[in-house]
Structure 1
Amino acid sequence: MIKTIALVRRRVDLTHGEFRDYYENHHAKLISEVPHVARYVRRYIEPSGLWNGPGAFDAITEIWFSSQADYDAAMARLVELQELFATDAANVFDTSATQRFVVLDECDTDVPGASEA
């Protein structure tokens, strides 16, 4: 599997609640325009958690693709939709802070008592 990970920060004028509401009810729905997405998860960082201060992020976004071909097709479609995604992202994210990664999602190391997230 191929997975994209994005660390995103909310716009400073949005509360954590406003950020999460907009992300879930508007921006996240845009993924329906992208083909071959196997899984799409948004993980919200607890504002009172240990990861605070300068450089802190508000959410981690993960998108899985089953194959390189699926990933390539999705990226080609995202290029076509670049203006739509960028315009909407500006409504919710501090886009200058976004960090993106592409990773290969290999088998997890067996950990007794652990379950898949």
Structure 2
Amino acid sequence: MIKLIMCLHRRADITREAFQDYWQNSHGPFFMKNAAVMRTQKYVQSHTLSSPLNESMRQSRSMAEEFDGVAEVWFESENDLMEAMGSTEMAELGPKLIEDENNFIDHSRSCAFLVEEIEF
């Protein structure tokens, strides 16, 4: 298994609450409706809490601001993901997925990368 991690910042013109509401109640169902096309094995949204502890941790370590949320998407393998991305179905879905993401994500301040989990 591999996992795609997306660390997300919301668009500047929406609140964190609006970002999380859209992500959970609109984008999430849209994503899951199309999960088979992407060969997604599992999809998890982690919504950042509005907590003073986040600011305390950031300041105590001189860290950058927190993300508004993190998406985790599991795939069977990197090769399986590549095959899915090269499919005709994904060619049709890709622009729709990005269009939907543009409703709430600031892509210029967000990032995405593949990882392999190592448990201890």
TM-score, normalised via structure 1 length: 0.77
Letter in 2 for 1:100: A
Aligned-pair identity (%):
31
Pick the aligned partner of 2:74 from 38, 61, 64.
64
User: Partner of 2:11 in structure 1?
Assistant: 11
User: Partner of 1:34 in structure 2?
Assistant: 35
User: Partner of 1:115 in structure 2?
Assistant: none
Unaligned runs of 5+ in 2: none
More helix by share: 2
- Secondary structure of the corresponding residue to residue 49 of structure 2: coil
Larger mean CA deviation between 89-98 and 74-83 belongs to: 74-83
Superposed displacement of residue 78, structure 1: 4.0
Q: Distance in 2 between matches of 1:92 and 1:44?
A: 13
Post-superposition CA distance 1:12-68 (Å, at most 9, x none): 221221111100111122222132211100101223223588543100100001233
Q: Distance in 2 between matches of 1:30 and 1:73?
A: 21
Q: Distance in 2 between matches of 1:8 and 1:79?
A: 23
Letter in 1 for 2:35: V
The 8 Å contact of residues 34 and 78 in structure 1, kept in 2 or not, is answered as no
User: Partner of 2:24 in structure 1?
Assistant: 24
1:94 equivalent to 2:106? Answer yes
